[in-house]
Chains A and B, each alone.
Chain A
C-alpha cells in the first residue's frame, strides 16, 4: 500500500538527485532523464496514494458523536457505491476488520480528547448552527496512516522518524509531484543548452525532495529538515545564473536565503519550545493533541506560536519579510513556478495547517475578533496586491500576486477557515504555475528573453495562441471568475471569514479580490493586447514548442476543474478528504455554501476586471500617474519604491548598523587612541630628557656596565645547559618533578 510507504516518494527524488550528480553529465540528456523519470514515478505513486486515501474507509470518530454505530454501515456502503471505482471492495472490508480490534480502545481515547476540544467550541457551534445543519459535524474521517521508526535516543528521549499520511499530506504530495513534473518537462525545453543544465536538474530534484520530506514528516524535526533543504535549494536555483547581470542574481539568491533564514530562527525556537512543552516529543500529532487538550500552558503556547509565525512570515513571504520573493524572480522562470506554486512559499502555509492545534489555541482563532495570523495575512493581501499594479516586469506582477494569494491562505487559516485555506493552496498551485510557465513561454518565444511587459510585449494574442488561451484561463481562475478554480476557494475563504466573526477580514478579502482581478487584467492587457512593442515587435514572436505548451494546457485544464472538488453540489469532497483529527478536535465550524457571499465575490471579481478593462481598453484614465504631483502620484511613487521597505532594510538597518560602528571605531581611533599615544609620547620625551640628563649620565652608567658584565659572565656559564634539545629539558623537568614528589611525600 502506498500510504504506508510514502517514504518512497522523497527517497525516489533524493536518489534522482544523487544519480544526476553522479552520472548526469555523461548522459545524452545531461541528467534530465533521471529527474523526469523520478518525477513521473512520484506523480504516479502520489496519484495512487491519493486514490487509496480517498478509498479508505472513513471510520475514525473524533468528536463524541451519536453515530459511532452507523459509521461502519456507512463505510460498507461507501465501499460499494461511492468509492467503488477507486478501491476494490475487499480492501474496504479488510480495512474495517483491521481496525475493529483496536477500534474500541482508540475510540475511548479519541472521545476523550474530542471532549476537551469541544469545550471551546460549544458556544461557537451554537452561533453558527444554522449554517451546518445541526450535529452533522461529527462525520467520521479517514484514519491517518502512520509509520514510525526509531531514529535516535539521547538519555530518556526517544525520537522517532516517521511518515504521516493523511488527506492534507496526500493532497500536497499530489500537487507538488504534479507541478514538479510539469516544471521538469517545461524546463527540458526552456533550459535547453544551459551551461549548468545538469546542476539545474539536480537542484530541482533536491528541491522537490525537500518539499516531500516536509509534507510527509510525522515530527517537527523531520519537517525542519525538509524546510532547510528547500531553503538551500531555493538559494541554488534563484542564483542559478549567478554569473549574469553583474551580481544582481547572486544578491537576489542571498537575499532570499538570508530573509528566509531570519524566519527560520523562529522555526528553531518554536520547535524547541514545543518539544519541551509537549512532553519531550517532536511528534506533530502529539503536539497538536497536547495543545488542543490544554496540556500546554497558554503563555508557552503563545511563545511557540509566535516564533512559528515568524518562520511562516519568512518562508511564505508575508509582510514584512515579503521582499525576497519578487527578487527571487532572478532565477529561471520554471523555478519561479515551482517556488510559487508548489514548494517553498507554501511550506509556511502548510506548517500552519499542520500545527493548527498550536495556532488555534495560542491565538484563540475560534474566538473571532482579531489575531496575529489573520492580521499578517490581511495586511499582506492588500500591500502586495497594490504593489502588483506598478510592476513592469510580468514575473514581478505574478510574484506580488503570489504574495497576495499567500496572504489569502494565511488569513484563511487565521480566521479558522482551515479547509478553505488549504483548498486555496491546492487550486492556487495550478493556476499560478500556469501563469508562471506562461510568462516563461512568452519570454522564451515571444519577447526575446525579456520580462518587461511595458517595453517588450504587447499584441502577442495572435502570435502565441495557446500561451494566450492558457494564460487567460489561469488569469480568470486567479481573479475568481466562476466556475473556475480560484472562485471556489476564494469564496470559501471569504465565507469563512464572515461567518467566523472576522467581518473586517472579509472586507479586506473582498478588496483584495477586487485588486487581484484588476491587476491581472492589466497584466493580460499589457502582454497580449495593444500594439507590439520592443522585442515583441522586432523579434518575430512565435508559439513555443510542444514541451512548453503541453504543461500549460494541462495546468489550464486543472485550473478550470480543480475548484469543483470542493464545490457544494459535488459534496465538498476536498473538505471531507483532508479533514483530520486536529481540525475536528478544534471543532472548526463548517459553513454551507452561501449564494449571497458567492454573488458578492463574483461581483467583486467582475468589478475588478471591468475596472481594468475600462482603464486599459477604453482609455478611461484620470491622467498620467507617473507625473502626477498629487496624492495619487505620491501613492504611485510609494508603490514603485515598494513602501521603502528595501530602503529600510538595506539603507537603514544594514547601513545603520555598519556605518555608525565603522565611524565610531574611526573616531575612537583618531581621537582617543591618537591622543593617548601622542600624550604618552610627549610625556615620555620629557621624562626621558630628565632621566638622561640628570640620572643616567651621572649615576647609572657605572652600575649598568657592572651589571652587564656580570650577566654576560653568568649567561656564558648557563649557556652550556641551554642545548636546545627538548629531551634534556624533559629529563631535568621529570627529575625535578620526582624530587618534588618525594619532598611532598616526606613532608
Chain B
C-alpha cells in the first residue's frame, strides 16, 4: 500500500464517520463542527487528486466562510445550542431506506463502470492553468457566476431585511 492509499483510507474513514455524525448528532453546533471535518477531508482528497488550488479554495470558502455562515444561522435562529431531542422528523426509516438504496444503486453502477480503473497522476494541476482556463475557455460561465453571486447578495439582503 502506497502512502497515498494510506492517506486516502484515513481521510475516507474520518469523512465517513463525520458525515454520519453531521446527520445524526443531537447537537446543532456539533453538526456544524463535524461538517468542518468533512469539508477539511474533502480538501485533503483534493490534494490527493493534485488539485491544490481547489483544496485551498475549499478551505477558504467552505470552512472559512460557509461554516461561519452556518454558525451565524444557528445563532440567529436561536436553535438549541446544547443537546436537543427532536432534531429529526418521523421519517428516519424512510430516509435511511432511500439513502441506502441510492448508495447501493450508485455503488453497483460505479463498480460496473470503473471497477478496476487505475488513476494515473502525471502532473500536479497548476493553479495558473486553472486561471487561464477560467479566463479563456470558461470566461462566460465565470461572468454568469459573478452575476449570480451579485443576485444572491442582493436577494439575500432583500429577503432577510426587516421592513
Contact = CB atoms under 8 A, between A and B. Distances in A.
Contacts of A742: 105
A155 B135 contact: yes
Interface string B98-131: 1001100110110010000000000000000000
B109 A741 contact: yes
Contact of A741 (B91, B94, B95, B106): B106
A734 interface: yes
Residue in B95, B98, B106, B112 with the greatest tally of chain A CB atoms within 10 Å:
B98
A155 B136 contact: yes
Nearest to A155: B135
A745 B89 contact: no
B135 A728 contact: no
Contacts of A728: 91, 94
B132 interface: yes
A154 interface: yes
Contacts, number: 31
Given A155-B136, A727-B89, A728-B91, A735 B98 contact: yes
B135 A745 contact: no
A745 B113 CA distance: 10
Contact of B91 (A154, A731, A734, A737): A731
B108 A745 contact: yes
A734 B98 CA distance: 7
Interface in A202-255: none
A738 interface: yes
Given A738-B98, A738-B105, A745 B136 contact: no
Contact of A738 (B94, B101, B112, B132): B101
Interface residues of A, number: 13
Contacts of B94: 728, 731
Contact of A734 (B102, B132, B135): B102
Interface string A706-747: 000000000000000000010110010011011001100100
Given A728-B91, A738-B105, A742-B105, A154 B135 contact: yes
Nearest to B95: A731
A421 B145 CA distance: 49
Contacts of A731: 91, 94-95, 98
A742 B109 CA distance: 8
Interface in B126-161: 132, 135-136
A444 B5 CA distance: 86
Nearest to B98: A735
Interface in B1-23: none
A154 B143 CA distance: 14
Contacts of B97: 735
Contacts of A738: 98, 101-102, 105
Contacts of B89: 725, 727
A735 B95 CA distance: 9
B105 A745 contact: yes
A741 B135 CA distance: 36
A352 B122 CA distance: 56
A155 B132 contact: yes
B108 to A, nearest CB: 7
Contacts of B95: 731
A734 B135 CA distance: 36
Interface of A: 154-155, 725, 727-728, 731, 734-735, 737-738, 741-742, 745
Given A731-B91, A738-B98, 16 more contacts: A154-B135, A155-B135, A155-B136, A725-B89, A727-B89, A727-B91, A728-B91, A731-B94, A731-B95, A735-B97, A735-B98, A738-B102, A741-B109, A745-B108, A745-B109, A745-B112
8 contacts: A155-B136, A734-B98, A735-B98, A735-B101, A737-B102, A738-B102, A741-B106, A745-B105
Nearest 8 A/B pairs, CB to CB: A738-B102, A735-B98, A742-B105, A745-B109, A738-B101, A738-B105, A731-B94, A741-B105
